[in-house]
Amino acid sequence: MNILYDARLDGELPDNDKQQVLATLSQALPGMTLLHREEDLRPFECDGLSAYRVLPMLVALPDTLDQVETLLKTCHSLGVPVVTRGAGTGLSGGALPLEQGVLLVMSRFKQILEVDPEARIARVQPGVRNLAISEAAAPYGLYYAPDPSSQIACSIGGNVAENAGGVHCLKYGLTVHNVLEVEVITIEGDRMTLGSEAFDSPGFDLLALFTGSEGMLGVVTEVTVKLLPKPETAKVLMASFDDVEKAGKAVGDIIAAGIIPGGLEMMDKLAIQAAEDFVKAGYPTDAEAILLCELDGVEADVDDDCDTVRRVLEATGATEIRQARDDAERAKFWAGRKNAFPAVGRMSPDYYCMDGTIPRRELPRVLKGIAALSEESGLPVANVFHAGDGNMHPLILFDANKPGELELAEEVGGKILELCVEAGGSITGEHGVGREKINQMCAQFQPDEITAFHAVKAAFDKHGLLNPGKNIPTLQRCAEFGAMHVHNNELPFPELPRF
């Protein structure tokens, strides 16, 4: 299934003449970098979902907030769609350009404006890399908690837009739990401060609404984040299992014992073998599954918790339990997990990473379902799993050079997400909907719910000029998508025309 913008299903886009838009913007913004030649546009044709590429009409690289404001106002009055892009590491195609749209690139806003160790906050521009914040806070014994695996490259503006997660979410939360204030500019050019350095603000929680809104409501121009004291110590246990179900049960039992681990990750056999081949992390390649359980906090408590977790793991039938002896071994244990994606990438010409979430108790059933889909399609699937918070990353292995395999991988991916929804979960835990999962939104939400989302969008962007076609599908699209999944011969959305 091709996920590129489809006017029949996603709505007609204004058809503006490129030369005219270029002339108007150049005149309004004489000092701003505005790329328009094909060879200059090429590097911006995709984000982290690189299977899909579109050349934008123009690429704007502003240096000042006044330029951003003028650009948005001008595009608003011309009726030109705007897609905002940060570092371009997003995996769901949220920054996929539009042929008829301007791509607004925020990467030049990369100043750390303030680190205040007394108030434990950092105020940064949106193009600042996630890891750079923690690096700037490190001299004060502080850090920024959310750590998406792309943290060396991804920028905080994109983190806010996607409500990025990481491996420590169960204990430390997602982006929405760690951002205090954002400055935004709407498509009409209105500048707003949402949230504050205090713990709350009067009025609606627009800060939460903007977090994860995928650039559909406004452009993030400044972010103030909460900094946390670095845990005194962190220790990691690795447990091997001869059965995935036992590993899944151990996850629940650890939490039932009253422990919230800093990180709790699971990998299945294929992922273990790939990681071991790649980084030699010391993983047991004969195990069906491993759990990595990191406990952090005050030394004495962590030691107590390690004992408790060890007992739980023994009781659930772990075949081997190892505790990293020192920081070097701890880093090695994690290296395998953190490099799981590229490791799997070495095994196969291409892989497709999914991001469903499920209630943890559904893990065995969903894993069985995934195994069945894998067998049926002939495409191997490696499972990497933020087990603590129920966030799965099945990696579907395929070869895009073989005709039909990309489509097959996407089909398997879509079915995996629908399996997650059926299990009471969600189609995305941290990567966002973007363009990639636009059809699966129709499986997760009812038409009335999608209508409510469109109402929210209309409150901030009446003409739908910010990032059209992303995040929230049209009912038209759901009708078309639903038509391919007819249940009990009942056609969803009977009132809508079909293409």
Q: Beta strand pairing status for 289-297 and 233-241?
A: antiparallel
471 lines the binding site for other proteins (CB under 8 A): yes
- The pattern of x and - marking residues 144 through 183 that bind other proteins according to CB under 8 A reads ------------------xx-x---xx--xx-xx------
Nearest to 53 by CA among 43, 64, 63: 43
- Residue 196 sits in the site that holds other proteins (CB under 8 A): yes
User: 391 has which bridge partners?
Assistant: 357, 386
Q: Which is nearer to other proteins, 266 or 379 (CB)?
A: 266
* Cβ atoms within 10 Å of 236's Cβ, excluding its own: 25
Q: Does 407 bind other proteins (CB under 8 A)?
A: no
283: nearest Cα among 266, 298, 296: 266
User: Is the torsion defined by CA of 33, 37, 42, 47 positive or negative?
Assistant: positive
Neighbours of 328 (CB within 10 A): 8
Taking the CA of residue 301 as centre, how many other CA atoms within 13 Å lie in the half-sphere pointing to its CB? 14
Which residue in the set 246, 386, 435, 470 belongs to the binding site for other proteins (CB under 8 A)?
A: 386
Name, in order, each residue with C-beta under 8 angstroms of 125's C-beta and a sequence gap of 6 or more. Answer: 109, 110, 111, 112, 113, 157, 221, 222, 223
Structure tokens at 355: 């991001």
Instruction: Considering only residues 416 through 445, tell me which ones interact with other proteins, judged by CB under 8 A.
Output: 424-433, 437, 441, 444-445
- Of 28-36, 62-70, 186-194, 286-294, which part binds other proteins (CB under 8 A)? 186-194
The interface region with other proteins, picked from 72-80, 126-134, 228-236, 264-272 by CB under 8 A, is 228-236
x/- letters, 336..375, toward other proteins (CB under 8 A): ---------------------xxxxx--------------
Q: Is 120 in the site for other proteins (CB under 8 A)?
A: yes
The C-alpha atoms of residue 372 and residue 377 are separated, in whole angstroms, by 9
255 in contact with other proteins (CB under 8 A): yes
In the complex, minimum distance from the CB of residue 348 to other proteins, in angstroms, rounded to a whole number: 27
Measured from the CB of residue 24, what is the shortest distance to other proteins in angstroms?
Answer: 25
Q: Using the rule CB under 8 A, is 480 a contact of other proteins? A: no
313 to 332, contacts with other proteins by CB under 8 A? none
Among candidates 286, 255, 293, 254, which has minimal Cα distance to 272? 286
Q: Supply the minimum distance, in Å, between the C-beta of residue 65 and other proteins.
A: 15
By CB under 8 A, is residue 201 in contact with other proteins?
yes
